Structure 1
């Protein structure tokens, strides 16, 4: 069971390579031998999703099982499965982000790796900061959040 938390500022080079922070790398090495899947986020936020391989293998059949005659389900399948890039951290803990995924998330040099429990999100630093600055007060709060005490 993964427990990815926190935000990490990282850099990507001109070839699309980025080094996973040491703490994250160690957890990924322990959890999945450094084997991960990187894919597009299907939400309106333009970021990437980074799954350890075991988490991906739980999620993938659920996405595949969606009714492909439904336009929304087919779109989700195309975004998530069609952009999935299995990869393994190299000896230095780096990965190469494929160009289509870099373009999808508007990734350039400065990035943010954000832990969400079972996965990470990979954002451009600019998009991440804009997301944090955006007031989400316009959205209706789901009942589960109304009962949450922080």
Structure 2
């Protein structure tokens, strides 16, 4: 289970170092083999390969005759990039994906259970500001009765 926010820096080659606290789990779950893909929110999703495979299978099983479904397939599957953690725990984020998410040198890796989100730090801060402006009137129906 991945959780928490970690501030990282992209190096000159476009690599990020996966935080040490996740490396052991990633090595045992998937031998460091990860999938990085685009997300409609303009961030990147980083999945251990075993967690990604059922998602890809499900997306591929959907009809491509629906234009919205086909667009989502193109975005998620078409941008999926296989990456391997190197001996230093780094992964290379492909230039097209870095461009898609607008990643600058300062990035944020956000644990989201079975996956991570990778955000440009400035865009992440905007997401947090948006979350802080959330009001009860904007509450989605599925959160009705939810309490922390």
Distance 2:145 2:84 in 1: 40
- Partner in structure 2 of residue 4 of structure 1: 2
Counterpart secondary structure, 1:55: helix
Q: Deviations over 1:29-76 (max 9, x none)?
A: 12211111000002xx21000000100111111011111011110000
Instruction: Call closer, same or farther: CA 1:139–1:115 in 2, change over 3 Å.
Output: farther
Give the TM-score normalised by structure 2: 0.93
Q: Select the residue among 36, 39, 53 that pairs with 1:38.
A: 36
Q: How far is 1:146 from its partner? A: 1.0
Count of paired positions? 146
Distance 1:133 1:113 in 2: 17
Distance 2:30 2:141 in 1: 35
- Partner in structure 2 of residue 126 of structure 1: 122
- Partner in structure 2 of residue 95 of structure 1: 91
Map 1:1-150 to 2 at 5 A: 3-42=1-40, 45-134=41-130, 135-137=133-135, 140-150=138-148
Runs of 4+ in 1 over 2 A off after TM superposition: 135-144
Task: State the superposition RMSD in angstroms.
Answer: 1.5
Give the TM-score normalised by structure 1: 0.92
Distance 1:33 1:139 in 2: 45
Unaligned runs of 5+ in 2: none
Unaligned runs of 5+ in 1: none
Q: How far is 1:143 from its partner? A: 2.7
Instruction: Call closer, same or farther: CA 1:137–1:67 in 2, change over 3 Å.
Output: farther
Instruction: Call closer, same or farther: CA 1:30–1:104 in 2, change over 3 Å.
Output: same
